[in-house]
Amino acid sequence: MGFMNDRPTMTIDQPTNGGAGRPGAGRPGAGHLGTDHLGAGPQGAGRPAAGAPAADDPASDSLAADSPAAELAARLPEWAAELGFGAIGVADIDLSDAEPGLLAWLHAGHHGEMDYMARHGLRRARPAELVPGTVSAIMVAIDYAPADPQWVEQAWATLAAPERAYVSRYALGRDYHKVVRARLARLADRIGAHLGPFGHRVFCDSAPVLEVELARRAGLGWRGKHTLLLDRRRGSTFFLGTLYTDLRLPLSTPADDHCGRCTRCIDACPTAAIIAPYRLDARRCISYLTIELKGAIPEALRPAIGNRIYGCDDCQLACPWNKFAQVQATPDFAARERLDAASLAELFAWTPQQFDERLAGSPIRRIGHERWLRNIAVALGNVGGSGAHADAETGAESAITRARAALLTRRDDPSPLVREHVEWALQRLLASS
């Protein structure tokens, strides 16, 4: 797999990791489980740069202020803004200081059943092995926060309403993989029109790439204690995109850490998945449990999932930096099919055909109808955990009764996975009533 000139070639998608959360995931950036939760500390060694290479860089002579590379770097922010990217920077690809953290994270089994992470191993930290000829990584961020300025408060309100479904804010709209890659391809076209053909490939949570670490080195933010990237100007509600290139460009300055002694993200995690600052055990993360995990969700963790049916945002909602979150850069990320307001019961009633049709072009569709039902069954079982009952406007029937009625419609589902989770949920409701 190498470069192709003029147009980027795409990798076959690996499953989206959730996220940051991450998003992050790639979470993310955002509330989906990203592929870069290594627990290696807030920052790697990085390479100091202030829009120019370090003094001892052998390429310094070719990166003079009036060089084509320097001229291109000066144009990148303008082109990025025109394409809807909120930030752009350039990182060196020497990630050798991130390798010990990656290996330790994998050795501890914190990647769970995401076998592809272990399979790719150190290739994730060696861009030139993934794409021979790579010497620089152009990193971009694109914002996805909901347009309503009260979106954080509304998210908390949904989480407190046990009959409503909570979907991670990053997944409410169109699949970010496609949106970001398409815009990165257009950025590559602009670069090609300016310089002529050059080697490049574009990625967005779709290949073994240490996106968060590269973005940190590219000056797009610092790694928060929840392992997501944070930017003082936009919080953590943004997606990351990567453009590997054979162009040697002036490097951006890595951002300083601004988390201080704050531990709100750690304290907010419903399943205690953030086992230490900058260290995530994916096996406990709700984004992993509802997206990546293909089998049964561990019973001990089901109650803590609450009404979260796809991903989790709690660590981001609790983060004070997200008061600076920027509104989604494109209508593509706006909520579809009432996913920000739907009830568990109505989503649980979707047929396989309705699931495929209504979530066409959504990142949610990749988990399939079976796991969709699995997740909602757990959430329905948790309805009684909050002791919520119907108010005067919804009639006398209790929330528990409505949840039980919905679950009974799937008690004989063809899927053993669904049936098992339905039975667990029914027993939990019985114990709650």
* 25 phi, psi to nearest 5 deg: -20, -115
- Residue 260 CB neighbour total at 10 angstroms: 7
- 349 contacts 342 by C-beta, under 8 angstroms: no
Both tokens assigned to 92: 């060196």
Residue 376 · residue 165 · CB < 8 Å: yes
Do residues 208 and 123 make contact, with C-beta atoms less than 8 angstroms apart?
A: yes
Closest CA to 243 of 215, 221, 219, 216: 215
Residue type at position 367: I
C-alpha–C-alpha distance, residues 202 and 259, integer Å: 30
Q: Which of 36, 92, 143, 205 is catalytic?
A: 205
Residue 278 has which token pair? 């900058």
The backbone torsions φ and ψ at residue 139, rounded to the nearest 5 degrees and listed phi first, read -110, 140
CA distance 325 to 334: 15
Q: Is 6 in the active site?
A: no
Active site residues: 205
